[in-house]
A = this chain, B = another copy of it.
Amino acid sequence: MKKVKPALLKGFDQEYLPGEQLQFNALVDLVRRNFELYGFLPIETPSAELKEVLTSKGGTEKEIYALARLAAGDDDEAATRGALRFDLTVPLARYVAMRERDLAFPFRRYQIQRVWRGESPQAKKGRFREFYQCDIDIIGREKLSSLAEAEIPSVIYSVFTKMAIGDFRIRINNRKVLKGLLQAQGVADAAAPAVLRALDKVDREEKAKVVQDIKREGVTEAAALELFGLISDKRDTNETLQMLSRQAANELLAQGLAEAKDIVAAIRQFGVPDSHFAMDLSVVRGLDYYTGTIYETTLVGHPELGSICSGGRYDDLASYFTDTRLPGVGISIGLTRLFSRLKEANLLRPLERTPAEVLVTTLEPKYLERYLGMARELRAAGVNTEVYLESAKLKNQLAYADRKGFRVALVAGETEFNGNVVQVKDLYNRKDENHPLDRLVASVRDLLSRSRKSD
């Protein structure tokens, strides 16, 4: 038969072996569990939306995949009017606008789903065309307290502390402060977005290049240098707030500074220690969409990973769909990218628990019912158990157990059953012991609780 070469599409290639998939799923579960601890509720939205919904905000058409029929077929709305979502924010806006009357506000939702972007895939940099995003947003109706902005870092803190992937910093800034600083340096409002995009690169590009980019927007050299210094100089949170207090104030800067001070104080009340967050003027964020606090999160000692969790406060989520003003604040974790980088940097923790916990080996077919009985007993106690069902030598069954990562193998034949015992093999530490059959569950549980690899 002519064969088709089994291969993946470029950028649609983050596919894992089962062991890696388990590690990935453990991260998803951890993120989800933490979001739920803070009272966020889950939603999922369809993968494909109406094109006019996805493009309502504009500026993203180039990245969107549309649907088409593979073969000419019946009329199909999805194939003519549908496209894949490129983020979880536009679907959220559509969702809230559609279901406003059914939701309780502030609406706190989390969403962990795949998104698709027709970007140039650079696998090395962890950019993919299909990837998971984990988003939370708090959406108010007509109003939203700035305390919501202060709560977000406590959720980020909870997630990454429990993920135990090393020391991290939640870096925050305020868009009003940034725009106030630009105003103070005489930057025209129309030039502000471009100047902010240039300033967003202070950590990655040469000073000369950034200053050049700012000047190109009609800003004087002195002002460009001043802005570069303000943004790039390293200060702690209190120094930053003091420095801002000393700046020649305009109304916007004063307002932003007051907001930032309140939010910094509240973040501390929310229990995030100063060791893990900082007001940092070099956090800029590209999107013009943000209007208050903005967030980035970086792993200390791993600047190459970039921000692993970003977002901000916005004034109106769904202005393209509804007249109701829906101010909100949200963050997103790009989990596929994070996972890929953590794997590369060897920062993933080993799993606490795998579905492959106990393998019941089978020596003689006549004992099948007894093997199955052991498995049933263990499963009833919540222990993941597989019975080896092929006919194979014990040696080969144990090789299979090792290959698949089982922790424990049970071995029993005539001798063991006559003595009412079972041989319990600790596959991580290479030890065997006979245990009474009527204490099977207790023996296995005891072993599982201590059978971490000795190294």
User: Which A residues lie at the B interface, using CB under 8 A?
Assistant: 1, 3-19, 21-22, 24-25, 35-53, 55-56, 61-62, 64-71, 73-74, 76-79, 81-84, 93-95, 97-99, 102-106, 108-109, 114, 116, 118, 120, 129-130, 140, 143-145, 147-148, 151, 158, 266, 269-271, 318-323, 355-356, 359, 368-369, 372, 376, 379, 382-387, 389-391, 400, 403-404
Contact = CB atoms under 8 A, between A and B. Distances in A.
Nearest to A19: B41
Nearest to A373: B271
A444 to B, nearest CB: 14
Contacts of A55: 70
Nearest to A385: B39
B6 A98 contact: yes
A101 to B, nearest CB: 11
Across the A-B interface, the 10 shortest Cβ-Cβ residue pairs:
A39-B386, A18-B41, A36-B355, A12-B46, A104-B403, A64-B70, A147-B389, A6-B97, A6-B321, A6-B98
B42 A25 contact: yes
B10 A78 contact: yes
Contacts of A382: 37
6 contacts: A7-B50, A11-B78, A12-B48, A16-B44, A148-B389, A269-B369
Contacts of A79: 65, 118
A70 B83 contact: yes
A359 to B, nearest CB: 8
A48 B140 contact: no
Contacts of A97: 6
Nearest to A368: B269
Contacts of A40: 355
A68 B66 contact: yes
B50 A9 contact: yes
Contacts of A56: 4
Nearest to A271: B376
Nearest to A399: B104
Contacts of A8: 46, 49-50, 98
A179 B16 CA distance: 39
Contacts of A24: 44
A263 to B, nearest CB: 12
Nearest to A120: B74
A322 to B, nearest CB: 7
A25 B320 CA distance: 30
Contacts of A98: 6-8
Nearest to A113: B114
Contacts of A148: 389
A44 B199 CA distance: 39
B6 A46 contact: no
A165 to B, nearest CB: 20
A158 B79 CA distance: 39
A95 B35 CA distance: 32
Given A9-B77, A37-B355, A41-B404, 20 more contacts: A4-B320, A6-B53, A6-B318, A8-B46, A10-B78, A11-B78, A14-B46, A16-B43, A24-B44, A25-B42, A37-B383, A37-B384, A41-B356, A47-B116, A48-B116, A64-B71, A66-B69, A145-B389, A147-B368, A269-B368
